Amino acid sequence: MQHRENLVLIGFMGSGKSSVGRLAAKALGFQFVDTDQLITERTGKQISEIFETEGEESFRAKETKALEELSTRFHCVISTGGGAVLSPKNRSLLREIGFVACLSASEEVLFERVSRNTKRPLLQTTNPRETLSKLIEARGPLYAETAHWEIDTSAIPQTTAVEQLVEAAKEAFAWPQTC
Ligand code: S3P
């Protein structure tokens, strides 16, 4: 199947979507777009502020709107928020937008990565490790259902993940192979 020429990254918080996505965009000559950043630009509010003042439901509606806006674009690497796969509408939108790659990592690695940043609203609980574990369990099947391709980034260097991702995207776009 030949996909629309966008690379969409899904995966749990801390899976490396933004950092891997930026490098993949450079390699493909695509524009890098982060849906959280787009929401912040469109609303003038930080994600944590939206969760705090308007609640998660309002954030999810803005997330869907951002994906709808991106569905008209070409040649973008789109890094999505970890919860972008929650609604059936988003799941089909993501697959329409382009080639969907899921970045995964072990629970230990994810916890270590998300612990470096305390801004994530969904992990502001008394037991973030348990919260993370429950979210991973609930979302795993949704990532699997949405992704066209998946890579486990737990034990490989970031450069390897980017190389494999870019190769998979080129194949998905049916670009001629270069040697
Ligand atoms: C969320 C992940 C965050 C951000 C928001 C909700 C989630 O993005 O969209 O805090 O539901 O997993 P990252 O995956 O980039 O951290």
Question: Domain coordinates of the chain in residue numbers?
Answer: 7-170
pLDDT digits (tens, 9 = 90+) for 162-174: 999 999 999 999 9
Ligand 1 atom 12 nearest Cα: 82
- For domain 7-170, the CATH superfamily is P-loop containing nucleotide triphosphate hydrolases (3.40.50.300)
Tokens representing 105 are 């990592």
pLDDT digits (tens, 9 = 90+) for 133-165: 999 999 999 999 999 999 999 999 999 999 999
pLDDT digits (tens, 9 = 90+) for 22-55: 999 999 999 999 999 999 999 999 999 999 999 9
Ligand 1 atom 15 nearest Cα: 81
| Cα-based torsion angle of the residue sequence 43, 47, 50, 52 in order, rounded to the nearest 10 degrees | -160
User: Tell me, what's the pLDDT at 119?
Assistant: 82
Which residues does a 6 A CB cutoff place in the pocket of ligand 1?
13, 36, 47, 81-83, 120-122
Longest dimension (CA), the chain: 52
Q: Which atom of ligand 1 is nearest to the CA of 12?
A: 14
- pLDDT bin (cut points 50, 70, 90) of residue 1 is low
pLDDT digits (tens, 9 = 90+) for 93-136: 999 999 999 999 999 999 999 998 878 999 999 999 999 999 99
User: Tell me, what's the pLDDT at 176?
Assistant: 83
Report whether pLDDT(12) > 90. Answer: yes
SS3 of 55, please? Answer: coil
Distance 81 CA to ligand 1 centre (A): 4
pTM for the model stands at 0.96
Distance 131 CA to ligand 1 centre (A): 13
Average pLDDT over all residues of the chain: 95
Question: How many helices (H) and strands (E) in the chain?
Answer: 8, 5
Distance 113 CA to ligand 1 centre (A): 13
